[in-house]
Amino acid sequence: MAFSMFLRTSGCQSRMFTQQAMRLATQPAITQRMISSSLPIRNIMKDTKTTPILNAIRSFRTSCVRRSAEKVEDHSRLWVIERVVSAALVPLIPLALMMPNKLFDSLLAILITAHSFWGLEAIAVDYVRASIFGPILPKIAIGLVYLISIATLGGLFYIISHDVGIANGIRQFWAIRSDAQKS
C-alpha cells in the first residue's frame, strides 16, 4: 500500500519519471542478460514471456482511481472551485439586486450557469449510469446537460444585452401584483 501511495505522489507522476520507469520496465531483466550469455539456458528462456515491471505495478491498485501520465484529473481542485462559486453567489445575488448593472448581471449569469451545470452534470453522471442504461443514454444525458447550460447562458446574456437585465427583470417580476391585491 505504501508503494502505491508513493507512486501517486506528485514527483512520481511527472513525465520524466514515467518515461524512465517505462524504459526500465520494458528492458529485459538483469538476470536474463546474465543467463543469455550461456547458450543452453538461452534456448530455454527464449520461449518464456516476461511481464514488464510497470504493467505489474499498474495492475495492483488499492483504489479505483486511475492515473495516466498524459491526463491527470484533479477533482479536488474542481471541488474547491465549485465551493468558491457557491460562496460567491451568496453576496453577489443581493449586490446585483441592489445595484443592477451589466457587470453584476454578467457575473451572475456566468456563476449561476456554472453552478447549475455542475449540479446537473453530477445528477447525470450519478444517476444515468452506463451499467444500468447502456453506453449511449449516459452520453445523451451529458450532451443534454451541455445543451441546457449553453442555452441558459445564451438566454441570460440575451436578456442582459437586449432587454432590461437580470436584476431589473427580477425587480419587475416582484413588482407585479395581482388584481385582488390592487383593489
The verdict on whether residue 162 carries a ligand-binding annotation is no
Non-local CB neighbours of 71 within 8 Å, separated by 6+ positions: none
Residue 106 near residue 96, CB atoms below 8 Å: no
Give DSSP secondary structure letters for 35-73. HTTSHHHHHHHTS-----HHHHHHH--SSS----SS---
Cα atoms found within 13 Å of the Cα of residue 174, Cβ hemisphere only: 7
Q: What are phi and psi of 176, to 5 degrees?
A: -70, 130
Q: To 10 degrees, the CA torsion angle through 168, 170, 172, 178?
A: 180
Longest dimension (CA), the chain: 108
Q: Write out the binding residues.
A: 115, 127
Q: Write out the binding residues for a ubiquinone.
A: 127
Q: Write out the binding residues for heme b.
A: 115
